[in-house]
């Protein structure tokens, strides 16, 4: 079975100490939890496929489907995925809409019409804009790419329900407005991605 390479999101004392200093509530939770590791996929195409698979389903379901995809389809590369049918991709346990989206992106890359490597030269906002122009990709999927692949340091996604839930649990809120969210996001900056890693963890505790 082919396995996609993974690593942990790279952060350390600098980011941890900064967040503890600017937000004592988050800081206390971080102290209690210790270092939380976030597994990421450095390969842009594999990470994009993984992010599409993860749209609107649980983390557990993603794990099952992801393992099945690698088993049934082999290497998660544009070359390999572009020659599959949408039906074969769908049979791994995803919707036909997601399968078609994955196939289209693989074929677009294979035809030389999309160069994912160019994303590294773009700002966060430009990456979101570029990826959101692809069929089936919205801002949330693009933001997951920024954190879970490109290791951009300052991403906190309003579109991520688990992050919002983590904030509500952490600060004991019954509701969370966009304005409150933005205030917290500004406090975490420039290390929002590390705050996100902790908020995800808090949301599932």
pTM for the full predicted model: 0.93
Q: Is 107 helix (H, G, I), strand (E, B) or coil?
A: helix
Cα 190 to chain centroid distance, Å, stands at: 18
Q: Give pLDDT tens digits for 78-134.
A: 999 999 999 999 999 999 999 999 999 999 999 999 999 999 999 999 999 999 999
In 3D space, the residue among 146, 201, 137 whose CA is nearest the CA of residue 169 turns out to be 201
Tell me the pLDDT tens digit for each residue of 16-50.
999 999 999 999 999 999 999 999 999 999 999 99
């Amino acid at each position: 079975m082919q396995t996609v390479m993974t690593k942990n999101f790279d952060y350390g004392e600098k980011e941890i100490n900064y967040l503890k200093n600017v937000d004592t509530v988050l800081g206390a939770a971080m102290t209690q939890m210790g270092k939380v590791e976030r597994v990421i996929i450095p390969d842009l195409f594999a990470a994009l496929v993984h992010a599409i698979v993860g749209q609107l389903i649980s983390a557990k379901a993603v794990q099952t489907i992801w393992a099945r995809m690698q088993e049934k389809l082999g290497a998660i590369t544009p070359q390999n995925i572009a020659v599959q049918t949408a039906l074969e991709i769908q049979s791994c346990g995803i919707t036909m809409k997601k399968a078609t989206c994955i196939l289209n992106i693989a074929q677009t890359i294979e035809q030389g019409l999309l160069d994912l490597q160019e994303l590294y030269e773009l700002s966060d906002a430009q990456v979101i804009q570029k990826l959101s122009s692809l069929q089936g990709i919205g801002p949330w999927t693009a933001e997951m790419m920024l954190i879970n692949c490109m290791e951009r340091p300052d991403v906190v996604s309003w579109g991520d329900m688990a992050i919002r839930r983590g904030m509500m649990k952490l600060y004991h809120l019954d509701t969370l407005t966009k304005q409150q969210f933005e205030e917290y996001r500004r406090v975490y900056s420039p290390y929002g991605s590390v705050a996100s890693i902790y908020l995800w963890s808090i949301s599932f505790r």
